[in-house]
Structure 1
């Protein structure tokens, strides 16, 4: 059996667009004169996904993610190229995908199960689990056209998650569910991952991509810009959102007079991007009294993140932000001057700014990183450096989890004493 679950070779997808409906007729009657406009949704996609691998796909709206997933799922044919899929595919590509709105939820469960390759008896055996997972109550016996978008996606995911797929494709449809449902879906996806299911996961939640996926692919304008470590790919995606560049070269970090205060070795530079209208010159962590903390902080104490910035132009809309992450890339806390309602007045070229984020340390023991960014109120990146400070938290009391909730405990007993 091949170790490759999905293989795409030079896959492209072209859509024909006509300015007016009559142009389509003119092209049939006058074939020598073209009235068509070609739009290439995908261009020369080459991708191999190993069996049991979880691949995250990220990119801006219109980058070609959904088209790619539809081609892999078999609901769309490529214009050119070869597609190889080895295994049973279950796909949640859009709300209520594959559901007949006139039929009840119960009927759609059986119809979809048969389409996905299960027998009537197998579906019947799994139906109670599907119904319990969806949690739509009596609506299971109502027409799907009466469902809310959240109910439709609940039932759709419940079906695909219980049909024993070897390849699971999940688009951004899960975002419509409530927090409880999303948590249940993520738990189910992790369970399928542990069972060796190949998973394609599309999400705008970068933390989920970094936690769940072994690799990530960044798409832009129908092409794959990069495939690699999820953290690096997500960082490049963030850079893409705030810049007109399609790729960010780490070796360009020192350009435009920026001084790297982290490392002089260009191979060890952290991911950085921005237009250089303001520059992060230094970042350090201090204790509450202002003394430098070096790299260790104790749970329950106060600490500061101090940032030195130099304006390279006259600016009036600087927003300064921080993000604290654990080693899995999960953001445990983030804020900025806009959210804290601290408005910076006009800053002159060459002027230096010191921002001091003061906070108590409720983090539990572990290693954490600090990402710092400065941007305009419209989101234009001036300077952004990923995970540039690493610090360790120690906790002499000890507890489990990411944070120390400073829990107190009371125990009361009601004992009858015989006299």
Structure 2
């Protein structure tokens, strides 16, 4: 992360004029001038609403910062000022680098234009030249995955297609500053994973990311720092876990206690006591639709579209999938059951000290866990050209209901250096089915057992 400042906000304030009757707009346009002409003090026919009040912060180049807060806290207004679509009433803002904004996705599209025409128009709005759009056009269309509809007027698109096309344009603009406002909830699970994978790649290039979300878990997973906003004010800045804990304390406070909690947060005196290292889980409770005796099965449509295949170095991975103990291919798993993650490894050169690996991740890219090794447990095995190995990695599904991804990797020695021989990111995906009457929450099921002891009764 660079010490160079990418975004600097200095006492940003934004005031809106609120008119309670339609004719008050006309009065405000005419009457103050008349009053001044006759020497009387001007009268205002509006009330002021301050969406932002003296907000200041700095974000360094390469930093990912989350902004959290209740509805109406000024988050979206702040992002619009940063993107240049709104001007502040007072204060100053400076940015360094091309900005791509994922705000009201598709709102700038012309419904009469085709998807192709809107891609070029939207790209121009993001500061891309026609040549730059030409160079990225195929990637944009592949990412949006709307097929032949790209040549049809946007007015014939579904809302999901419009959002996906707009997201694809913005995400392929090679931004130096990426501004995201609740845009990662668009599309289905497959498209969401593509979005997160692309944002991960942008982050690795050193881009600055400003991220707004009501999902505390996502902010903790993606961000280096977080800012808590409320009623147009910046209440606190700190680590994502701490800020999300403060946000949830404020969010769930009663009406009577909210002002006191807000004041304590602003003064830096509020103490948080929450589970999971300061973060209350915001994952929905499992749906009570599938019994624990349900069977794992294969859904042919559950295939990752965010797969990244690295260049093989003497060995190539193929056919990654999950099997039951009986050998049946599945991708809808039952929590608590044992499965095998399998793939084939075809060697084309002699290779030394080879280990086989796997990794499980969430939709947002959080690495939940994995392993690397060999069947015999040695530091590594040697293979000859034309060797073909079927890798089976047995694991017990301890994950709560949700959608997850597998990586596959093979490590070994190349020119005396231990490195990846082949690697596939998002090689396979699977879903853990909902379980009836579950007491577990979060991501991992630790199989808690509750024991309640009535102390008073035992003393009698």
What is the TM-score of this pair, normalised by structure 1?
0.62
What CA distance in whole angstroms lies between the structure 2 residues aligned with 1:224 and 1:272?
22
What CA distance in whole angstroms lies between the structure 2 residues aligned with 1:171 and 1:21?
31
What CA distance in whole angstroms lies between the structure 1 residues aligned with 2:243 and 2:98?
28
Alignment partner, residue 111 of structure 2 = 101
What CA distance in whole angstroms lies between the structure 2 residues aligned with 1:205 and 1:151?
24
CA 1:125–1:235: 2 relative to 1, 3 Å: same
Alignment partner, residue 24 of structure 2 = 23
What CA distance in whole angstroms lies between the structure 2 residues aligned with 1:238 and 1:53?
24
What CA distance in whole angstroms lies between the structure 1 residues aligned with 2:171 and 2:213?
17
Contact 2:241 2:278 in 1 (8 A): no
Classify the secondary structure of the residue corresponding to 1:102.
Answer: coil
1:167 aligns with 2:159: no
Deviation at 1:27, TM superposition (A): 2.2
Deviation at 1:252, TM superposition (A): 6.5
Q: Which runs of 5+ in 2 are unaligned?
A: 33-41, 290-334, 339-374, 378-390, 399-460
After TM superposition, the structure 1 = structure 2 runs for residues 14-413 of structure 1, keeping only pairs within 5 Å, are: 14-31=15-32, 32-243=42-253, 244=258, 245-246=261-262, 271-272=272-273, 404-405=396-397
What CA distance in whole angstroms lies between the structure 2 residues aligned with 1:84 and 1:133?
31
Deviation at 1:247, TM superposition (A): 5.6
Contact 2:336 2:397 in 1 (8 A): no
Classify the secondary structure of the residue corresponding to 1:25.
Answer: helix
Contact 2:245 2:280 in 1 (8 A): no
What CA distance in whole angstroms lies between the structure 2 residues aligned with 1:334 and 1:24?
45
CA 1:207–1:122: 2 relative to 1, 3 Å: same
> What is the RMSD computed on CA atoms of the aligned residues?
3.9
What CA distance in whole angstroms lies between the structure 2 residues aligned with 1:146 and 1:74?
30
What CA distance in whole angstroms lies between the structure 1 residues aligned with 2:240 and 2:141?
34
What CA distance in whole angstroms lies between the structure 2 residues aligned with 1:149 and 1:330?
32
CA 1:404–1:330: 2 relative to 1, 3 Å: farther
Classify the secondary structure of the residue corresponding to 2:218.
Answer: helix
What CA distance in whole angstroms lies between the structure 1 residues aligned with 2:199 and 2:225?
16
Contact 1:174 1:182 in 2 (8 A): yes
Classify the secondary structure of the residue corresponding to 1:101.
Answer: coil
CA 1:68–1:25: 2 relative to 1, 3 Å: same
Deviation at 1:130, TM superposition (A): 0.5
1:33-76 Cα offsets, whole Å, 9 max, x none, are 21111100011000111011101111111111110000000000
Contact 2:144 2:168 in 1 (8 A): yes
1:115-142 Cα offsets, whole Å, 9 max, x none, are 2222212211111110000011121112
Alignment partner, residue 402 of structure 2 = none
What CA distance in whole angstroms lies between the structure 2 residues aligned with 1:2 and 1:92?
25
Contact 2:55 2:234 in 1 (8 A): yes
Deviation at 1:176, TM superposition (A): 3.1
What CA distance in whole angstroms lies between the structure 1 residues aligned with 2:114 and 2:59?
36
Of 20-29 and 165-174, the range deviating more from structure 2 = 20-29
What is the TM-score of this pair, normalised by structure 2?
0.57
Contact 1:58 1:217 in 2 (8 A): yes
CA 1:141–1:4: 2 relative to 1, 3 Å: same
Deviation at 1:335, TM superposition (A): 5.3
Contact 1:236 1:248 in 2 (8 A): no
Alignment partner, residue 11 of structure 1 = 12
What CA distance in whole angstroms lies between the structure 2 residues aligned with 1:154 and 1:165?
18
CA 1:178–1:82: 2 relative to 1, 3 Å: same
Deviation at 1:7, TM superposition (A): 0.6
Q: Which runs of 5+ in 1 are unaligned?
A: 254-270, 274-322, 340-358, 363-396, 407-419
Contact 2:248 2:280 in 1 (8 A): no
CA 1:247–1:206: 2 relative to 1, 3 Å: farther
Deviation at 1:361, TM superposition (A): 11
What CA distance in whole angstroms lies between the structure 2 residues aligned with 1:184 and 1:127?
17
Deviation at 1:400, TM superposition (A): 12
Q: Aligned pairs, how many?
A: 293
Deviation at 1:405, TM superposition (A): 2.5
Deviation at 1:29, TM superposition (A): 2.6
What CA distance in whole angstroms lies between the structure 2 residues aligned with 1:52 and 1:38?
37
